[in-house]
Structure 1
Amino acid sequence: MSDEQGFSPEERRASFTLAGIFGMRMLGLFMIMPVFALYGQDLIGFSPLWVGLVIGAYGLTQALLQIPAGWLSDRIGRRPVIYAGLALFALGSVVAALSDSVYGVAIGRVLQGSGAIAGAILALAADITREEHRTKAMAIIGVCIGISFALAMVAGPLLAAWFGLPGVFWTTALLALLGMLMVHFLLPASASKGQIRDVTAAPELFGRLLKDKQLLRLDFGILLLHLTLTAVFVAFPLTLLDAGLAAERHWWLYLPTLLLSFLLIIPFLILGARRNLNKQLFQASILVMMVALVLMAVGQGQLWLLALAMLLYFTAFNFMEASLPAFLSMLAPAGAKGTAMGIYSTSQFFGAFLGGVLGGVLFQQLGGGGVFLLVAFSMAFWFWLAAGMVNVSQVRSHILPIGVNIENKDARELLLQRLMALPGVHEALIIPEEGAAYLKVDGKIFELDQARRLINL
């Protein structure tokens, strides 16, 4: 019997299983970042440029394929797309593990990125969970992605020290196979609901959203954030090595700085939400990241300064990583969140690819200090760009199943008028194919129960 006030056992199991699959895949993608510059030096063709290409290569295919993979899951089902994506990820891992050149490893990373299952996983989560619990399911997946990044910063150096670079890739292959077993044995059966605008992209909305300056600021912001991340990890591991920290001990720095950074952002996330200071704190985080990058550049050879720089960097990065999707959810028009998120995620992965290429070129020409300083300059540009952001802390989104007949156009128009007349409703959209109403509201004055009564008359 399902619990109407909370997750049913089926929803809970599905949410945590999908979060685990998503997290293990991201763990496999991230683990190479802190170790390739250190352990890939024996590979044929090794150079700083190829370090960047290997680290960022997954982002190119991920960016190109994730929206099409989401559409494909609407047509042939979620599970086949997830199975195929995990199989490609495992194949890419094996190719990279068996390669004795950077070219083979890069091909493996491209294959890993081609297993673009993010859209299918989110759509399956929406298929299995009820509308009122969908946000909770997405939050669980989001938290698991954050945890996977932290684990990667520790597991990558440990695995590379114990088993070498091939051991990291064999581990990612095993994670992909484990994900396939989880899909088969742990996920409850479900019927695909087709396109769900809250999680999948609608082609007809692209033109409108690509003209939205507020959403474009977020898209460009996430591109710069992940460009910075991959560029930093082209140079930072070697910078730590030059400062006297042995490769097998790099996790000694990453683990405490990451854990402390997670603790540091909590009060700021709460403060931003309660005092409507999200924009101000976001801009402050960009400045903190810029300071951290400058410290990395001037702290060559000084381990304590590099540790401080990484603490500041991770704190700012984690705050922005948590804030950007929240801003996007608040700014996306009613019924367009899935499309907005598709564009945003494509920008994120393309930024990872560009960061790898840029980091490799800069490191080859200017060294680590040049990478950090020029990427810091990009933060100054982002700070200027973010000045035009709007503060929308009180905007909330709701998707409500409609219990009245909406096949009739006049009935839909009447219901839409009544929804728009409710206090606090900014936007309302009815999608007959989904049997749902999408609302954008002012969370301070909107009463959800009033809307539910109205649409179930």
Structure 2
Amino acid sequence: MMNALERRSTFALSSIFALRMLGLFMIIPVFAVAGQTYQYATPALLGFAVGVYGLSQAILQIPFSLWADRFSRKPLVVIGLLLFALGGAVAAMSHTIYGVILGRAIAGAGAVSAVVMALLADVTREENRTKAMAAMGMSIGLSFVVAFSLGPWLTHLVGISGLFWVTTIMGLAAIVMLLLVPKTTRHHRNFQHGYLKQLKHVLKMPDLNRLHFSIFSLHLLLTAMFIYVPSQLIRYADIPLEKHGLVYLPLLLIGVICSFPSIIVAEKYRKMRSIFLGAIVGVVVGLLVLVFGYQSKYSLLLGLGIFFVAFNVMEALLPSWLSKAAPIQSKATAMGVNASAQFLGAFFGGTLGGQLLMLHNTSTGWGILVGIAMIWALVSFGLQQPRYLSSLILRLPEGKQTDEWTSQLLAIHGIEEVVVMLDEQVAYVKLDKKQLDETARQHLTHLLGKELVI
């Protein structure tokens, strides 16, 4: 069960993600048409204006995440959100497509997705990590559907420049939400590497690379599917484009509801690997239904529904697993590489989806996506069960220096990290119960002045 601090932080950080994604996604369904009013606009430049955001994100996620492992995370999130808001303002005031491209590039430069996830990992206990990540995944999914429904309506009301102003307002509102997140100070057995050495250390870890390939594949398939499926919903299901949001929303909600039991089993019974691989199989099955049944309205909706269930399970499990598998001192760096892989997956998925639209045989297009999903399954089969840490909530000691106290805690074998929230006068102590021997338990009892049941 989450405590009040975890619930508040999860709500705030999920809202930050949702506000950013809402501002980003609202542009996508309208820009190809509404953007033609800009000076010098061409189809290629319109496409680049949409895609340059993802390119900036993919390039700058890693630098931001490297900094986040050295410095306080909250100021970096503020910087990223200010860049996002500034980019929206530059695009809103532009009269040429080049100004919009510049604005979108600036907005994408606020690449703090990994920093936000690392901050969420700091302020939640290990036992509640998957729940918190699931809430963040839900906020992203809901923002996607809401944005695709609101984008055309808002563009009709305020125009395309007004829509960019809305993204600026959302970026500033996200900064306000950050006030709900406690200030944290992280303490761990830190061994300082140069930035390049730290990045190389993360990139050499096989399981992390499998997780990076997983997020790349998931978002490649998702993006390609959302380019490929709308024309089929119109042709085979008789659902007009303006009502597609009404299709995606219930399917997404069904996916979220059905995914929760899987998430609980994965965390509570430590079956994360089995559930994870099962979700990839779900992606394959959903796509196979579309290969053979895309001409039927109900098969089309069934295939999308299965895909959404698997997608929601993966969205919750991937960041949670990543936070468990990543080295404590390089958590944000690992998440930065993962976020870059995610945005690259979306970029290549968009490119692939456009190519699939040119195919004369629809089932061949779905078959290509099935092939990609099967390669993903083979790569992921080598994943090892993640290490499970436990957490203690401790009151900060009175009359003792916090740094001295945390150093004494970290000297105990089995304690991995201490996250101090000074304003709340509490600390989360993350430990590996398997490494906590009797001597370590005695030291911990002596330090805290009472015996703890762990």
Post-superposition shift, 1:319? 0.8
Cα deviation, 1:172-191, whole Å, max 9, x if unaligned, reads: 64243244255359726987
Post-superposition shift, 1:23? 1.8
Cα deviation, 1:123-145, whole Å, max 9, x if unaligned, reads: 76689x5xx76986996576144
Counterparts of 1:289 and 1:444, CA distance in 2: 39
Q: Secondary structure at the match of 2:413?
A: helix
Counterparts of 2:241 and 2:335, CA distance in 1: 37
Q: Secondary structure at the match of 1:223?
A: helix
| Matched-pair contact (CA < 8 Å) for 2:61–2:111 | yes
Between the two proteins, what is the percent identity of the paired residues? 30
Counterpart residue number, 2:375: 381
Counterparts of 2:417 and 2:324, CA distance in 1: 15
Post-superposition shift, 1:382? 0.9
Q: Secondary structure at the match of 1:336?
A: helix
- Pick from 302, 322, 326: which aligns with 1:328? 322
Residue 114 (str. 1) matches residue 109 (str. 2): yes
Q: Which amino acid aligns with 1:261?
A: G
Residues 4-15 of structure 1 mapped to structure 2, 5 A cutoff: 6-7=3-4
Q: Relative to 1, partners in 2 of residues 1:179 and 1:92: Cα closer, same or farther, differing over 3 Å?
A: closer
- Pick from 255, 260, 269: which aligns with 1:261? 255
- Pick from 78, 81, 84: which aligns with 1:86? 81
Counterpart residue number, 1:59: 54
Cα deviation, 1:141-162, whole Å, max 9, x if unaligned, reads: 7614422322321341343156
Post-superposition shift, 1:306? 1.8
Residue 238 (str. 1) matches residue 231 (str. 2): yes
Residues 218-229 of structure 1 mapped to structure 2, 5 A cutoff: 218-229=211-222
* Segment drifting more, 367-376 vs 58-67: 367-376
Q: Relative to 1, partners in 2 of residues 1:103 and 1:250: Cα closer, same or farther, differing over 3 Å?
A: farther
Q: Which amino acid aligns with 1:361?
A: Q
Q: Secondary structure at the match of 2:382?
A: coil
May I ask how many residue pairs the two structures share in their alignment? 432
Counterpart residue number, 2:385: 391
Counterpart residue number, 1:159: 151
Q: Relative to 1, partners in 2 of residues 1:352 and 1:207: Cα closer, same or farther, differing over 3 Å?
A: same
Q: Which amino acid aligns with 1:223?
A: F
Residues 175-186 of structure 1 mapped to structure 2, 5 A cutoff: 175-181=167-173, 183=175
Residues 289-368 of structure 1 mapped to structure 2, 5 A cutoff: 289-364=283-358
Q: Relative to 1, partners in 2 of residues 1:342 and 1:114: Cα closer, same or farther, differing over 3 Å?
A: same
Residues 95-114 of structure 1 mapped to structure 2, 5 A cutoff: 108-114=103-109
Q: Relative to 1, partners in 2 of residues 1:338 and 1:311: Cα closer, same or farther, differing over 3 Å?
A: same
- Unaligned segments of structure 1, at least 5 residues: none
TM-score by length of 1: 0.74
Q: Which amino acid aligns with 2:25?
A: F
Q: Which amino acid aligns with 1:337?
A: K
Cα deviation, 1:177-227, whole Å, max 9, x if unaligned, reads: 2442553597269878489899xx983432222111111111111111111
Q: Relative to 1, partners in 2 of residues 1:396 and 1:36: Cα closer, same or farther, differing over 3 Å?
A: farther
Q: Which amino acid aligns with 1:380?
A: M
| Matched-pair contact (CA < 8 Å) for 1:28–1:175 | yes
* Segment drifting more, 187-196 vs 258-267: 187-196
Counterparts of 1:195 and 1:346, CA distance in 2: 26
Counterpart residue number, 2:199: 206
Counterparts of 2:156 and 2:335, CA distance in 1: 37
Post-superposition shift, 1:62? 0.9
Counterparts of 1:304 and 1:233, CA distance in 2: 18
| Matched-pair contact (CA < 8 Å) for 1:217–1:389 | yes
Q: Relative to 1, partners in 2 of residues 1:57 and 1:358: Cα closer, same or farther, differing over 3 Å?
A: farther
Counterparts of 1:59 and 1:294, CA distance in 2: 29
Counterparts of 2:12 and 2:61, CA distance in 1: 20
| Matched-pair contact (CA < 8 Å) for 2:91–2:102 | yes
- Unaligned segments of structure 2, at least 5 residues: 450-454
Residue 46 (str. 1) matches residue 39 (str. 2): no
Q: Secondary structure at the match of 2:179?
A: coil
Counterpart residue number, 2:23: 28
| Matched-pair contact (CA < 8 Å) for 1:289–1:312 | yes
Counterparts of 2:229 and 2:128, CA distance in 1: 36
